[in-house]
Structure 1
Amino acid sequence: MRLLFFLLISLNIWAVGFLQPDEAFKPKISMIDPSTIGIEIELGDQIYIYADKLKIEDVDPKDGIDFASITMADAVKHEGESVYESSPAVRIGLSKSSDITGEQTLKVKLSYQGCSAAGLCYEPMETLLDITVDADKLSKRSTSGSSILKAPAVERASLEATPPKAAVKTSETDQIAQVIQGGSLWFIILSFFGFGLLLALTPCVFPMIPIISSVILAQGKGMGAKRAFFLSLVYVLSMAVAYTIAGVLAGLFGANLQAAFQTPWVITLFALIFVLLALSMFDVYELQIPNFIQSRLSKMGSQRSGVIGIAIMGFLSALIVGPCVAAPLAGALIYIGQTGDALLGGVALFSLSIGMGIPLLIVGTTSGKFMPKPGMWMDIIKAVFGVMLLGIAIWMIGRVLDENTTLLLWGGLAIFVAINMNALEPLGEHPSWSSRANVKALGFMVLLYGISLLIGGMAGAKNPLHPLDPFLPNKEATVSVAQNQHKTFEKITSIEELDAILAENKGKKVMVDFYADWCSACKELEEKTFSNEAVKSAMDNYVLVQVDLTANDEAARAISSKYGIFGPPAILFFDENGERIKSADIIGFKTSDEFLKHLGEI
């Protein structure tokens, strides 16, 4: 995901025509006279530098050469800010504070930040410049009362002028927030639309695919591609509106509206809705709007009869089915929270949601285009979507139930599917090996798997991929479980608990994982990333802490607010002094390779 993020930014920079940082800013240093050096920054076309961000510092104030004076050209006003639209032409008068002689190497640190008039602001940058100075030609003076800018002493090295680089490494989330702050409106829309496309197949969005397919299928006969596209668009727009409203509220007030919908009774109610939808797919009953509502809708227009229900389903799906946070979403929320600009942040969130909804729009439209004629095929497709809806219901209710009970439900669903595939029925005298025999064989395997899930669940198994672990010899079971489990985290729920852990572990690095049972990406992190052997070895260097946000109570909201967490998954890192390493924050899911690379960069 990180690689795709930077690729998208690069493509946008290329497409809009923005200069790369080393093209936009070209600093150089030269001797104006024996006691004066000059620093120029050659600016690219339509590039300017903020006056208050320009700083010149002596890297080593102990080298015997001091800055006696610093002068530069006057700044101009640009949109209310003092800027340099051409090189600031810095002039630095030199003197010496000790009896040094001969040629000396003076090292100067130049810090600055600039923007493009086309609508992009670059990150703060710094570069080291060095120049040879003849100390014999400098006058000696006292440094008392001097207004010289000095930087803390650093390790001296023979550094040549280097290209600009980021002064402070920023997290991926902050970089995305800067995209909104510094970009033009269309640049923001295109960028966040691209981010949405990248997030479209994450665990937060994928469960919506069978939902929109079954909703379109449930509309019945006469469903063409045009009608299916319209209904899919209603679903996607409703989902986008929900994400936007939830995001703006979270950015303005720090309240996670999605988390508020993760209470047990809401999840249970929505899971029950999916069960009812599934039963209608199996023709247990015909799901339709009550007659008194239908009569009113018919007065408004028959075409609107299914629109309201689909709009409600799309709105609620965004809040209940996919409540997890990714870096682009968190970046937009940070921008809204810091600036209060809910309009621009809302536009970014809406563009992100539309990008996430494009695959749903395609799936929904094709569901109508390729809908088979009434008959056996229609019954089979409806049954498939019915099973998928039951699976989503189990997946959702699993946030409330324990893992053993959830395993029993999955086992029951597998047996139900196997029976409907005629796994226990005889083949007959003349079976068709291309259809019935193959289906029966597959059904029999599903039946065996379902039985193993039931038996394993009753015996205390938790992993659906290893339902018979409780019956294996202890040694083998231990190995099997160990290969699929992550390292143990100390679970906490409050600020006080985390503060105590940080105080107790001075001298050690601490990794804090913000987790919730209702967050699908959090579980994916545990199952795919934290369980990786290389990742487990790398995490030996950290004290592991997990903040459980499942309850979404006052304590959970307080600790989320303190650290600027808008929702899980999020991982923070603290150094040996208990200070947060802000640039190391992780928001959203990371693969094991991405996570290992990130640990290596901290």
Structure 2
Amino acid sequence: MRFITILLLNFCISFASILSLNDAFHVDSKKYDSSIIINVKLGQDIYLYANKIKLYINDKDITSFLNLPPSVEENNEKVYFKELNLALPNLLLEHYAKKNLNQIKFEFQGCSKQGLCYNPQIWYLNLTHKNNQFSISKPYKQNKKSKENFNSQSEEGIIANFLATNNLFWILLSFFGYGILLSLTPCILPMIPILSSLLIAKSGNKNSKKHSFFLSFVYVFFMSLAYAIAGIIASFLGASVQGILQKPSVLIIFALIFILFALAMFDILRFEVPLKFQNFIHKKSGNKKGIIGIAIMGFLSALIVGPCVAAPLAGALIYIANTKDALLGGSALFIMSFGMGIPLLFIGLGLGFLKPGVWMEKVKVFFGFIMFAMTIWILSRIIATHYVLMAFGILGIFFSVFMGIFEKAFNAFAKIKKSILILVLSYSICLFLGGLFGSKDFLNPLNFSAKEKNQALNYHFINNLDQINQEIKNNQALMLDFTASWCENCKLLDELTFSDKRVIDQVKKYKLIKVDVSQNNNEDIKIMKQFNVFGPPVLIFFENGKEQLKITGFINADDLLKKLKS
């Protein structure tokens, strides 16, 4: 806790006085009879590198023709403080400019004397040439193409713009808050049994609050590291890294890992490495109470068990993709993921209060079954639902027996436990029989006559980019729904939001197209790149061929209706 406090204090001291982009660089333009002027006013202690200043007219580099003012030396570099004026005489403009509309691109990079360098800045100005007169527009940050994506009114567009223009400390603090809000969503729930099981397995007789909290911290740290790395890679690839890891072969390998952990809970299996590596491993990690295993599981769990995309995550990915500023974007993702992991730290602290004893063996068995349940849950993405019912039914029967359903009950607590186990056994038998006869309903597994509900909405499944673009062009109103078989929030969207009669009535005017990116093949990646989608669920509404609304992550019926009406 002292380390975390000192770290946060250092952040406050380091970034409290660092200027935001808007305060550090103020770009303006003026028109005179014989020239136009581009002016950059710099904030206190801000300077520009002379060799990073570039100016283009219609993509032609004219930097060498500029008459730059005298510079000063700073750390063996030529720099400018306070203000920079670039004069573009009409003679130069006439040589490179075309009639009507031209575009000027102005690039520069600056740093603060306090040690922070800003990412390279690119500004655009529109130059008009009519009747032998030049007019210049106000500078703006993106060209038309990137402005449409980056400054859109979607939540992720607003967040990406926030990243581009605000102070680093406030960015990190805001993303930590986003993470805490996301921790209240289903995204983090699968992590709780995994971490609890690992803590029970690793703690043994040395259980303590400090040790459990430390192991939880390691798990959350590496979970956050995975989110940050995967986010940076996804931004540059334009594809969902989590989607790549949802392939059947990867899921089966990960399910086998959970089976191994479950068997270890029952003391059936001990993790042993080949003899020639044993001494080395024991020397390096034997005294570290399972830190390496916890770290690996935290890293993998973030990518495979909890694939969840929300607006803050998508906003950070859009920012990285547009600016190539992986440091700031990755830091924001790391801090956000750490905020998501705060409940997991409390789980570790809570389990640290448990005192070792004989009863802990029952707890280990309980979490062993939780690990088996996680295995079935992961494989449910690639196997038929009725097989999943059967598997959970079999697991529930074994759970009831191992937890003592046939043991004698001598006191009130034992009788209550036995009653609960009888209920678990009854439900498990129903699940097994329901799955055996083809049922797919977990809540009513014995209703064999029930048929699948007819879709109230008429979806068209298309996974071809050219065809999707053609549909957007040919339809006045269209909705793209990006989904995947492994996406839990996609299922919630269908079951809760799009089953609401008000939503059904509202979206019936749209042509509904589902884009299933479960396979994450080349065509899926191409489609996701085209629409700036980094992972499902994403809803995009088009009217007359233009994007009107983009929603990333789960949204409830009331909020969706508000957005559609506005």
TM more than 0.5: yes
Counterpart of 1:586 in structure 2 is 551
Q: Distance in 2 between matches of 1:274 and 1:229?
A: 22
Counterpart of 1:451 in structure 2 is 429
Per the alignment, do residues 302 and 441 of structure 1 end up closer, same or farther by CA in structure 2, a change over 3 Å counting? closer
Q: Distance in 2 between matches of 1:184 and 1:487?
A: 45
Which string of whole-angstrom CA distances, capped at 9 and with x for unpartnered residues, describes residues 83-127 of structure 1?
xx9xxxxxxxxxxxxxxxxxxxxxxxxxxxxxxx9x9xxxxxxxx
Compare 392-401 and 248-257 and name the one that shifted more.
248-257
Residue of structure 2 aligned with 1:334, choices 292, 309, 318: 318
Letter in 2 for 1:512: L
1:311-350 map, 5 Å: 311-350=295-334
1:186-585 map, 5 Å: 186-219=169-202, 220-287=204-271, 292-300=276-284, 302-304=286-288, 306-367=290-351, 369-376=352-359, 378-423=360-405, 425=406, 431-432=410-411, 434-471=412-449, 481=453, 487-504=457-474, 506-507=475-476, 509-575=477-543, 577-581=544-548, 584-585=549-550
Per the alignment, do residues 381 and 427 of structure 1 end up closer, same or farther by CA in structure 2, a change over 3 Å counting? closer
Q: Distance in 2 between matches of 1:273 and 1:295?
A: 23
Per the alignment, do residues 464 and 171 of structure 1 end up closer, same or farther by CA in structure 2, a change over 3 Å counting? same
Q: Distance in 2 between matches of 1:486 and 1:371?
A: 50
Per the alignment, do residues 463 and 256 of structure 1 end up closer, same or farther by CA in structure 2, a change over 3 Å counting? same
Q: CA deviation at 1:521?
A: 1.6
Per the alignment, do residues 225 and 544 of structure 1 end up closer, same or farther by CA in structure 2, a change over 3 Å counting? same
Counterpart of 2:163 in structure 1 is 180
Contact 1:180–1:335 (8 Å) recurs in 2: yes
Is 2:41 the counterpart of 1:77?
A: yes
Per the alignment, do residues 288 and 488 of structure 1 end up closer, same or farther by CA in structure 2, a change over 3 Å counting? farther
Q: Distance in 2 between matches of 1:532 and 1:463?
A: 20
Q: Distance in 2 between matches of 1:375 and 1:488?
A: 57
Which string of whole-angstrom CA distances, capped at 9 and with x for unpartnered residues, describes residues 432-475 of structure 1?
3x223322322222222222222222332222123233335xxx
TM superposition score normalised by structure 1:
0.68
- Whose Rg is larger? 1
Contact 1:421–1:439 (8 Å) recurs in 2: no
Q: Distance in 2 between matches of 1:594 and 1:366?
A: 35
Compare 262-271 and 232-241 and name the one that shifted more.
232-241
Letter in 2 for 1:203: P
Contact 1:525–1:589 (8 Å) recurs in 2: yes
Per the alignment, do residues 540 and 255 of structure 1 end up closer, same or farther by CA in structure 2, a change over 3 Å counting? closer
Per the alignment, do residues 548 and 259 of structure 1 end up closer, same or farther by CA in structure 2, a change over 3 Å counting? same
Percent sequence identity is 40
Q: CA deviation at 1:411?
A: 1.9
Q: CA deviation at 1:303?
A: 2.5
Q: CA deviation at 1:408?
A: 1.6
Per the alignment, do residues 523 and 345 of structure 1 end up closer, same or farther by CA in structure 2, a change over 3 Å counting? same
Q: Give the paired residue count.
A: 459
SS in 2 for 1:372: coil
Letter in 2 for 1:471: S
SS in 2 for 1:365: helix
Q: Distance in 2 between matches of 1:294 and 1:453?
A: 43
Q: CA deviation at 1:333?
A: 0.7
Q: Distance in 1 between matches of 2:190 and 2:456?
A: 25
Q: Distance in 2 between matches of 1:290 and 1:47?
A: 58
Contact 1:486–1:532 (8 Å) recurs in 2: no
Counterpart of 1:598 in structure 2 is 563
Q: Distance in 1 between matches of 2:207 and 2:407?
A: 37
TM superposition score normalised by structure 2:
0.72
Letter in 1 for 2:496: K
Q: CA deviation at 1:360?
A: 1.5
Q: Distance in 2 between matches of 1:453 and 1:366?
A: 33
Letter in 2 for 1:579: K
Per the alignment, do residues 146 and 365 of structure 1 end up closer, same or farther by CA in structure 2, a change over 3 Å counting? same
Letter in 2 for 1:491: F
Letter in 2 for 1:387: F
Letter in 1 for 2:181: L
Contiguous gaps of at least 5 residues in structure 1: 1-15, 18-23, 25-45, 55-72, 86-116, 120-143, 150-167
Q: Distance in 1 between matches of 2:194 and 2:156?
A: 30
Contact 1:212–1:360 (8 Å) recurs in 2: yes
Per the alignment, do residues 237 and 398 of structure 1 end up closer, same or farther by CA in structure 2, a change over 3 Å counting? same
Q: CA deviation at 1:341?
A: 0.8
Q: Distance in 1 between matches of 2:505 and 2:416?
A: 45
Q: CA deviation at 1:570?
A: 0.9
Q: Distance in 2 between matches of 1:393 and 1:440?
A: 26
Which string of whole-angstrom CA distances, capped at 9 and with x for unpartnered residues, describes residues 249-274 of structure 1?
11123243222211101101111211
Per the alignment, do residues 76 and 179 of structure 1 end up closer, same or farther by CA in structure 2, a change over 3 Å counting? closer
Q: Distance in 2 between matches of 1:201 and 1:416?
A: 32
Q: CA deviation at 1:74?
A: 10
